[in-house]
Structure 1
């Protein structure tokens, strides 16, 4: 899932990015409304989380622009506490509204609800249990290792999209990992031995993509 986070507070962006990255989201950061729109038009965004009061273009303006395309869900953040502000936010087309300060875990749950991300993701004969951190094939636990599960989780949350080795390294091994990119290939090979060759497609020179067996 591709997430756009827009807020003029850099620390807030970094904190939220860490929370969402841990859950497998690919995050794009913007510190003003114009940068947010530029990212939106240059990437396939599934959800935009926008601060109401931003430089150049407000969250309301960005929301209205995004909603003209109908391509993404929008959640507005604001320090405003007036009930009329909530009305204006939803009237602008926002799908949800959250007042600051908030617990990042609550924001994460709101985002998952908007995107209808269930605790279990089914792809063909495979089931990825996000809460139990297990992978099942035809109802049987494949005994995936932690790294194998995290790889599958990220691929499942980005089903149908090609993800690069670097993206997988950043999300599964961490941004401070300095080892060989080929370690991804080794873990993918081992994962395929457990779930079958078909679901994870290799796109040479690009990366990997999780696809349903009937696609």
Structure 2
């Protein structure tokens, strides 16, 4: 799924992008409302996260235009604390309203709820249980480690696309990880032993992927 995040704080954009990409979403960034609308008209987004106070065109105006032209979900972020502000945002069509400061994981959960993306993910005979962070093969818990679970989740959410070792390190281990890229190979090898050797494809010189034909 594709998400537009519009906020004039660069650090906020960087943090939110990392969290959502880790969950397998494709993220488009905008630092003002004008750019946000350009992206909305150019790309097929599923949801927009809009900061209320943005340069050029504010978040509420962007929300109104998105809602007038589509049925896409919109979540408003704001530092405003008055209840009237929340009522105003919801009245003009926003589907959700979150006050700053907030934890990015809370935002991710709210977005998943809006998109109906909270359920377990099924891929071939593998079930990825999001609530318990468990992997099941033919209904059997394979006892995956947290890292193995995150790797499988990341690959399946990006199925059909090749992820490089560096991308996997950023998405699974985090942006602040500076270890050897070969640690990815070690964890992929252990994961394959649990879910099947053929599930994860090695794209030599590029990275790893899973096929995109099956949900």
TM-score by length of 1: 0.74
Q: Tell me how far 1:170 sits from its aligned partner.
A: 0.8
**Contact 1:128–1:153 (Cα < 8 Å) also in 2:** yes
Quick one: distance in 2 between partners of 1:43 and 1:204? Answer: 31
Quick one: distance in 2 between partners of 1:74 and 1:163? Answer: 30
- The root-mean-square deviation of aligned C-alpha atoms, in Å, is 3.6
- Listed as ranges, the gaps of 5+ residues in structure 1 are none
**Contact 2:24–2:158 (Cα < 8 Å) also in 1:** no
Q: Tell me how far 1:98 sits from its aligned partner.
A: 2.6
**Partner residue in 1 for 2:172:** 172
**Contact 2:7–2:30 (Cα < 8 Å) also in 1:** yes
Quick one: distance in 2 between partners of 1:59 and 1:122? Answer: 36
**Partner residue in 2 for 1:128:** 128
TM-score by length of 2: 0.74
When residues 5 and 212 of structure 1 are mapped into structure 2, their CA distance, relative to the original with a 3 A threshold, is closer
**Contact 2:192–2:200 (Cα < 8 Å) also in 1:** yes
**Contact 2:4–2:48 (Cα < 8 Å) also in 1:** yes
Q: How does 1:92-171 map to 2 (within 5 A)?
A: 92-118=92-118, 120-156=120-156, 158-160=157-159, 162-165=161-164, 166-171=166-171
The aligned length equals 213
Moved more, 135-144 or 38-47: 38-47
Quick one: distance in 1 between partners of 2:114 and 2:11? Answer: 24
